[in-house]
Amino acid sequence: MPGFELLGDAERRAVAQVMETGVLMRYGFDGARNDHWKAREMEAALARRMQTPYAHLVSSGTAALTVALASAGVGAGDEVILPTFTFVASFEAVLALGAVPVLCDIDDTLTLDPQAVAAAITPKSKVIMPVHMCGSMANLDALMALAERHGILLVEDACQAIGGTYRGKPLGSIGHAGCFSFDYVKTITCGEGGGLITHSKALYEKAQAYSDHGHDHIGNDRGAEGHPHLGYNYRISELHAAVGLAQLERLDTFLELQNRHYGILRKALEEEQGVTFRRVPEGGVENYSFLNVFLPDAQVARRAQAALQRAGVDGVFYWFENNWHYHRKWEHLKALKSLGPLPDAVERRIQECNSRDFSASDHWMSRNLSILVKLSWGEAALEKRALALQQGLREALG
């Protein structure tokens, strides 16, 4: 999965162009930059690739989520529905705006269960935020129907799923906004960076201002620009955008490699008794960054991971016991371990929402192993890995 595996001459040339000008900031210094605008170029390329009219780069995937939610009007006391299986950045972005993250059960897609979402919607609900974990998606038709029925927004957290599609549309482009991470371990990397896409001009205009202290970016004198509303600093640098632009141009190559490697690993496991696979919703095409399997129970899953570790197979994750990606280890959220006080009403609601029974999620996650798909494997390494996976799972299954 990680684009850093194939960093090369294209990325070095793009960075060198920025260094030759000495202009590392994405805004201003027009005369010195020799017409190099890497962030602008990457935004234009991302919008084309994602089939949306608007794209905006920021400093991280977390920043993209925060800016998208803020631009959607999310604020104090509003509720954002998100899955029990995600990265902590999803709820951090909600908390940063004074809003309430409402954890919600997943199903065998490893993403939001639409029935659980329907039960979680309240008059305070402002956004449904599906997280396309490990390269695949939720049932977006069902979630969009819920959003439209209740007059709320759908913001896609596609940070792990760039290149996947749903009914022919790129992931991230289906909802009111979509967010990507370009950090060091994503399919394409800026080192650190993120982006959001949208079909809404109004949301885009708010996002591009909010991420730069509220600058409206009208005119050629940065110091004279207006500030239509409050903002913060979530800017990306030209150096990071240069790397990302070069990587984005190689995205299709990366996806082809992931698809091929995924296919070989999956074929090796398809005949194994007791092994089933994550469900991809009808019309969905994942980006093949992870191969996700279910085993008969948690005990077998733990045995399988241990057997694979003994065999030297890296990149096999048991998210059920992971500190950063699954609700069971999020005591800092559930116990509200904040550096500063939170509003009483927000505290109460966070505790009400997130101390519920999530056994439906546990049913799936406790049986799941998630297998990273790398870009840099050669034929011999891939064959060796496929055989090791077969043997490790057979050992665990007895």
The residues assigned a catalytic role are: 186
Q: Position 148: which residue type?
A: E
Residue with tokens 């049913």: 363
25 CB neighbour count, 10 Å cutoff: 14
With 0-12 CB in 10 A as exposed, 13-18 as middle and 19+ as buried, what is 201?
exposed
Beta bridge partners of 293: 277, 369
Question: Using only C-alpha atoms, what is the Rg of the chain?
Answer: 21
Total residues found in the chain within this entry: 398
Q: Position 109: which residue type?
A: T
- Give the list of residues 6+ apart from residue 352 with CB closer than 8 angstroms, or none: none
Can you say how many angstroms the Cα of residue 168 is from the centroid of all Cα atoms in its chain?
19
Which tokens is 119 given? 């039960």
Strands across the sheet with 125-128, in order?
54-58, 194-198, 177-181, 153-157, 125-128, 79-83, 100-104
Give, in degrees to the nearest 5, the angle at Cα 84 between 76 and 64: 55
Which tokens is 58 given? 């920021």
99 CB neighbour count, 10 Å cutoff: 25
Reading phi first (left if > 0) and then psi (alpha if -120 to 50, else beta), residue 139 is in beta
Q: How far apart are CA 277 and CA 255, in angstroms?
A: 20
